[in-house]
Amino acid sequence: MRYEPVAKRLLGLLSKISDSTIFREIRDNDRFLEILQEERAQGYQISKKEIINDFIGDRWNQLTSYLLENAKEYDGKLFIYRSITSKDPLSFGQALEDSVLTNGYKRLGIFWTWDFRTARSIWGDYSAGKQDVIITGLVDFEAINIKETVLANFNPTFGSKEQEITLKDGAPVVVTELSKRTIDGIYSIKRFKPPLGLTA
């Protein structure tokens, strides 16, 4: 596995989305502006433009650091992770093998992360004993929706917490492993051999 090249490759793709595009996305969202002003103004007279530009610069630096530390690839593909909730992780794994997803899922979904630690079911259903099940996958870099990935990572509300990779709808995902999260840690449930070819 090569850590630095994959980070550089991802940053090269993400930097195709201009700072002006990110600026407009934040400027036109009152909630984003409110959050940034609360965090950064701290009683000083700072213009909205300065606040947004400072945030963009800081976030690029943070993103670069995170990618260098956590992004991994194998055989030219990026490792990605997605968490869902399931009452029976082993049955879910079997459903993946049978290419029939449970719980109403028709596809794996487009919202993933490159950092295993941030794979959590933000909107998951934890009723009736359901728990986090983490899917590990590999995707081609061409499968990434670059603009939506950048905008998600520059979201002042959750961008730095989720390290999101947004895939193109229907993009192929090679699923290699299934894990579950418990209060004691994260444990592998099943490694798929051969890996499973599914879609986002």
Which of the residues in the chain have pLDDT under 70? 1-4, 40-44, 100-106, 122-126
Can you give the pLDDT at residue 99? 73
Can you give the pLDDT at residue 102? 47
Q: Among all chains, which residue has been given the structure tokens 């550089």?
A: 8
Can you give the pLDDT at residue 2? 44
Can you give the pLDDT at residue 7? 80
Tell me which residue range forms the domain holding 126.
3-199
- pLDDT tens for 90-104 read 888 888 887 755 444
Nearest to 84 by CA among 161, 137, 33: 137
Can you give the pLDDT at residue 1? 42
Give the total number of structural domains in the chain: 1
